[in-house]
Amino acid sequence: MSEIQLSARALESKLGEWRTGGSAYRGLADRIRLLALDGRLTAGTRLPAERELGLRLGLSRTTVTAAYREPAFRRAALERARLWQRGAAAGLRRRLQRGGRPGLRERVG
């Protein structure tokens, strides 16, 4: 699985209106979790550093770190990675069943 580095600016544009009036870390974690679950953040995407995202969103680094450590956020990231792996494995199986050879990405990943 190749990693994509997401900049703080790009993540900010994907987040949209995420401030809900509750705690900032929970609102941020919930919005990032939704982005991962609906596929707008793909498996393997590296999120921006806490300091960089905090500066961009006007939050402290501690708040962003708390959002990244939120249990629901971590579960969503793991589930998205599992779904991607299952999909990649299924695609490789179909290709091999049709007599094709696995591509470079499939052999390496």
Q: Would you state the pLDDT for residue 58? A: 95
pLDDT tens by residue, the chain, 109 residues: 457 888 999 999 999 888 888 899 989 988 888 888 788 887 778 888 999 999 999 999 999 999 988 876 666 666 666 665 566 556 655 655 666 555 544 444 4
What is the spatial distance between Cα 51 and Cα 63, in angstroms, rounded to a whole number?
A: 10
Domain extent listing, the chain: 4-108
Q: What does the pLDDT read at residue 52?
A: 95
Residue 51's pLDDT is what?
94
Residue 107 confidence (pLDDT): 47
SS3 readout for the chain: CCCEECCHHHHHHHHCCCCCCCCHHHHHHHHHHHHHHCCCCCCCEECCCHHHHHHHHCCCHHHHHHHHHCHHHHHHHHHHHHHHHHHHHHHHHHHHHCCCCCCHHHHHC
pLDDT given for residue 87 in this prediction: 62
pLDDT number for residue 73: 64
Distance of CA 37 to the CA centre of its chain: 8
Phi-psi region of 44 (alpha: psi -120 to 50; beta: other; left: phi over 0): left
